[in-house]
Amino acid sequence: MRMNLPQPLVDLVARCTHLHISTWAQWQALPPVTREQLGRFSYRERCVVPLAEVERIVATSGTSGRPPFLTALGFTVRSYDFLDEWYRFSKPIVCVDQNYLRLEQYLARAGSPVPILIIDPRAPKVTAALAQAAGADTLFILEPQLRSVGDEMARCGAAANIRFLMLGGGDIGPHVAYLSRTFPQAVLLGRYAASEVEGNPIGVPCNAVTPEAPEQYYHANTDMHLDIVDPTDGTDVPWAPGAEGDLLVSTPHPAVASPLIRYKIGDRVRVAETPCARHRAYAFAVLGRANLDFVKVQGGQLRVDELARTVRQFAAVITGEFELQYTERDNGRGVELAATLYLEPRGPLDWTQFAETMAHELRVGPSFTYAQGVARGWYAPLVCAPLPPITQGVKRKRLTRV
């Protein structure tokens, strides 16, 4: 049978002998695979290459906060090639340890074997001093370490030397104001990767972000195949300007240890309205984790089950339906959370007063409430509003990043 799939997918399907896929319709009918499903198998069962061909085995909770996930990483030699477009590395680089092996491979091939210094997240002061002493001009950093390391680098003068900065482990958008203030000379890029795809970029940056245009767009990494599906019924969404849906990642590259087929990474994406003229491809923005049960915030977590518990306490005035929408923005002192809780009232309600009561009841940590977070300047005051009429198929009782 003649295949009408692209060659990388033909190769991927051929390696999975139980699959009989030769058309787009058959490909699109394959059910997505979730992290929970993968987690039922050990990394040995998921690994298709001999252990001798495994570069590293990592345990990670990722940004989802779910239980640790053990995964084998194959040798993926092209994962940093996109950097060619952005910077010519000639001075020491400061980076998180997850990145350094791949970065080292890239630099060796690019003919720039510059020293790499590893960030010690427990010792930001030492990291900053080392960066300053070495004259580092590049920083690869993750969101949780950004403020502590960034502040120390600014204090000792190392931040002013940084010309290229890549932020992973979260959306760069809310941090752009801080980054451009702290690292005024740096080209700023977001990094979109995941341990399940062996640490490789899922998307490669289309643009450098600025305070005026803080939204990071990505193009699909050429080592991967990306599909978008409708969050409600799972049908395929064509790549078209403005299209939105949950991202599925397939990894046909032969050097991966655990190939993935239509893996639901858990992120919702939106295709840019205007196709990118520079890279001649569709660009997309990552809207955030889709249907997460909880979100890590300063001081703890916002959890769906805790919201449900709090909402139940007011069953006399509201039904059990809710949806919490949140944003994170830079307020000059740090990233501030702003949340709106949509509820279904049984009758007229004083929303302002009710929001205050909810904020005192809603726990973000074992003995820490939303209201206490507001008092510390971490969160904007909670807003409560009526839930819009139900739309067919929309899931309630969830957290949504907007």
179 lies in the site for Zn ion, by CB under 5 A = no
Q: Near Zn ion by CB under 5 A, which window of 88-96, 261-269, 278-286, 325-333?
A: 278-286
- Nearer to Zn ion by Cβ, of 46 and 270: the residue is 270
The whole-angstrom separation of Cα 29 and Cα 14 is 17
Q: How far is the CB of 214 from Zn ion (least distance, A)?
A: 16
Q: Near Zn ion by CB under 5 A, which window of 199-207, 251-259, 338-346, 351-359?
A: 199-207
The whole-angstrom separation of Cα 121 and Cα 144 is 9
Q: How far is the CB of 319 from Zn ion (least distance, A)?
A: 45
Q: How far is the CB of 350 from Zn ion (least distance, A)?
A: 49
Q: Near Zn ion by CB under 5 A, which window of 14-22, 58-66, 177-185, 198-206?
A: 198-206
H helical segments located in 40-190: 43-46, 97-110, 124-134, 143-156, 176-182
Task: Please return the burial class of 113, using the count of CB atoms within 10 Å of its CB with bins 0-12, 13-18 and 19+.
Answer: exposed
The binding track of 85-104 with respect to Zn ion, each residue x by CB under 5 A or -, is --------------------
The whole-angstrom separation of Cα 273 and Cα 254 is 33
The whole-angstrom separation of Cα 291 and Cα 32 is 15
Q: Near Zn ion by CB under 5 A, which window of 100-108, 277-285, 291-299, 377-385?
A: 277-285
Q: How far is the CB of 88 from Zn ion (least distance, A)?
A: 20
Q: Near Zn ion by CB under 5 A, which window of 72-80, 116-124, 180-188, 279-287?
A: 279-287
**Contact present, 223 and 200 (Cβ < 8 Å):** yes
Does residue 36 sit in helix, strand or coil?
Answer: helix
- Nearer to Zn ion by Cβ, of 147 and 279: the residue is 279
Q: Which of 49, 77, 243, 276 binds Zn ion (CB under 5 A)?
A: 276
Phi-psi region of 143 (alpha: psi -120 to 50; beta: other; left: phi over 0): alpha
The binding track of 205-224 with respect to Zn ion, each residue x by CB under 5 A or -, is -x------------------
Does residue 75 sit in helix, strand or coil?
Answer: coil
Place of tokens 């190939």: 259
Q: Phi then psi for 193, rounded to 5 degrees?
A: -140, 175
Q: How far is the CB of 209 from Zn ion (least distance, A)?
A: 13
Exposure string of 273-292, with b = 16+ CB inside 10 Å and e = fewer, is: eeeeeebeebbbbbbbbbeb
Q: Near Zn ion by CB under 5 A, which window of 32-40, 84-92, 144-152, 268-276?
A: 268-276
- Nearer to Zn ion by Cβ, of 141 and 271: the residue is 271
CA dist 195 to 67, 199, 256, 270, Å? Answer: 13, 5, 12, 22
Q: Which of 279, 360, 398, 401 binds Zn ion (CB under 5 A)?
A: 279
Q: Which residues bind Zn ion (CB under 5 A)?
A: 206, 276, 278-279
